[in-house]
């Protein structure tokens, strides 16, 4: 009897003194393994008479249970200690100063998009998005450009192979976001929609993929005056000059009526063309920056709204072009070359987030 309790005390002391999981495993095998001491004692119960087993069984069972429990406890304790040690070793001191500052730069297109979002947010516009893979209904038909309309040919569209009777394409402008916004929400609407657009075209001022930003306002009693004020306010904020002069020229877009193309005046300053001032001044001129107009009532109707109740204006402009005018690049293709020297020269600091209060112009 005392032999078994001595054995138990000895085994438990050894188990509690094991300082590695390997040492503990060796002890487990020695006690509970196929040839272990405890296993051996358990085996002696088999041939015993019921009376003898009644007497000798309980201490042996107690030994087995105690040793099993001690092994489990010690194993848990060693595993916890190992985890604690690992966590302590892998700790990083976040308060240490970084060895190097942020690398890379923000692309001028991203920067200008952020600037535009900031300017229009201040005017109460929110940002809307739509898919770059569009169907021809959103890109053309709902915008009053039916199948046979010559404007479809003007867009040099990239079409996908026909699928399930739906004509899919890469959107040629951000105007389909007008349709999606009018169909999914209730007026009044005030959104801008920046994003990528695609046309099969390529030279110094055209790339097959470029960026536009769309603006749409739908409300009651909206007039051309609201449009002009909005564009003037936006261009003054964007070019950070109060002397921005706009020239509105009658134009044609199927989705606006009337349509106006907007030019911004530039003047010669020290022999340099600078945006601002009256373009009709000597040496000055006009640069086309925007297409716009009052939303055609047929478009409002196509979106399920009553054009006698709701009116609005829309505008669209090239983000890359705005970036070129503001920051002085002259080849659009370099925007998409990924040349690190170009990015270093024209890029913006990641920490230089445009804000109206800080000046959106970097």
Please give the residue ranges that form the binding site for ligand PHE (CB under 6 A).
173, 175, 214, 253, 256, 291-293, 314-316
CB 251, min distance to ligand PHE, A: 8
One-character DSSP codes across 133-181: EEEHHHHTGGGT--TT-HHHHHT---BPPPBTTB-EEE-SSSTHHHHHH
Between CA 280 and CA 284 the distance in angstroms is: 6
CB 173, min distance to ligand PHE, A: 3
CB 195, min distance to ligand PHE, A: 12
CB 226, min distance to ligand PHE, A: 14
Cβ nearer to ligand PHE, comparing 120 with 315? 315
CB 121, min distance to ligand PHE, A: 20
Between CA 237 and CA 349 the distance in angstroms is: 21
The length of the chain is: 362
In this structure, are residues 217 and 189 in contact, taking their beta carbons and an 8 Å threshold? Answer: yes
Residue 358 DSSP symbol: T
Cβ nearer to ligand PHE, comparing 175 with 207? 175
CB 118, min distance to ligand PHE, A: 21
Nearest to 283 by CA among 272, 298, 294: 272
Between CA 52 and CA 45 the distance in angstroms is: 9
Cβ nearer to ligand PHE, comparing 135 with 214? 214
Cβ nearer to ligand PHE, comparing 150 with 271? 150
Between CA 97 and CA 91 the distance in angstroms is: 15
Cβ nearer to ligand PHE, comparing 316 with 354? 316
Cβ nearer to ligand PHE, comparing 12 with 295? 295
Residue 131 DSSP symbol: -
Cβ nearer to ligand PHE, comparing 74 with 173? 173
* Cβ-closest position to ligand PHE: 316
The runs of H, that is alpha helices, within the chain are 2-17, 21-32, 37-44, 50-89, 108-122, 136-139, 150-154, 176-184, 224-239, 297-302, 319-327, 340-346
CB 349, min distance to ligand PHE, A: 32
Largest CA distance in the chain: 124
One-character DSSP codes across 180-229: HHHHHSPSSEEEEEEEEEE-S--BTTB-SEEEEEEEEEEESS--HHHHHH
Residues near 87 by beta carbon (within 8 Å), at least 6 away in sequence: none
CB 159, min distance to ligand PHE, A: 17
CB 157, min distance to ligand PHE, A: 12
Cβ nearer to ligand PHE, comparing 74 with 171? 171
Cβ nearer to ligand PHE, comparing 223 with 349? 223
HSE-CB at 324 with a 13 A cutoff on CA atoms is 20
């Amino acid at each position: 009897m005392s032999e078994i309790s001595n054995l138990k005390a000895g085994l438990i002391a050894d188990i509690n003194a094991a300082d590695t999981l390997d040492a503990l495993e060796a002890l487990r095998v020695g006690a509970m393994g196929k040839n272990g001491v405890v296993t051996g004692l358990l085996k002696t119960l088999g041939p015993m008479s019921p009376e003898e087993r009644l007497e000798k069984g309980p201490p042996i069972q107690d030994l087995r249970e105690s040793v099993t429990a001690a092994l489990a406890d010690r194993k848990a304790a060693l595993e916890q200690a190992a985890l604690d040690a690992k966590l302590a070793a892998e700790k990083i001191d976040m308060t240490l100063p970084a060895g190097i500052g942020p690398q890379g730069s923000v692309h001028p297109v991203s920067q200008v998009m952020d600037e535009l979002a900031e300017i229009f947010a201040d005017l109460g516009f929110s940002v809307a998005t739509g898919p770059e893979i569009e169907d021809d209904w959103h890109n053309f038909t709902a915008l009053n450009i039916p199948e046979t309309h010559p404007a479809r040919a003007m867009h040099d569209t990239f079409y996908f192979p026909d699928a399930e009777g739906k004509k899919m394409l890469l959107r040629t402008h951000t105007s389909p976001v007008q349709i999606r916004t009018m169909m999914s929400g209730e007026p009044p609407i005030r959104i801008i929609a920046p994003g990528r657009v695609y046309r099969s075209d390529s030279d110094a001022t055209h790339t097959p993929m470029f960026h536009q930003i769309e603006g749409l306002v739908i409300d009651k009693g909206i007039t051309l005056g609201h449009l002009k004020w909005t564009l003037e306010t936006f261009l003054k904020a964007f070019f950070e000059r109060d002397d921005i002069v706009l020239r509105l020229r009658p134009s044609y877009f199927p989705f606006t009526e009337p349509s106006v193309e907007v030019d911004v005046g530039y003047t010669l300053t020290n022999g340099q063309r600078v945006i601002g001032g009256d373009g009709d001044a000597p040496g000055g001129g006009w640069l086309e920056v925007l297409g716009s107009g009052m939303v055609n009532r047929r478009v409002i109707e196509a979106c399920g709204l009553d054009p006698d109740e709701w009116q609005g204006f829309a505008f669209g402009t090239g983000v890359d072009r705005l970036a070129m005018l503001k920051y002085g690049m002259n080849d659009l293709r370099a925007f998409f070359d990924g040349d690190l020297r170009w990015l270093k020269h024209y890029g913006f600091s990641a920490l230089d987030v445009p804000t109206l209060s800080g000046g959106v112009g970097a």
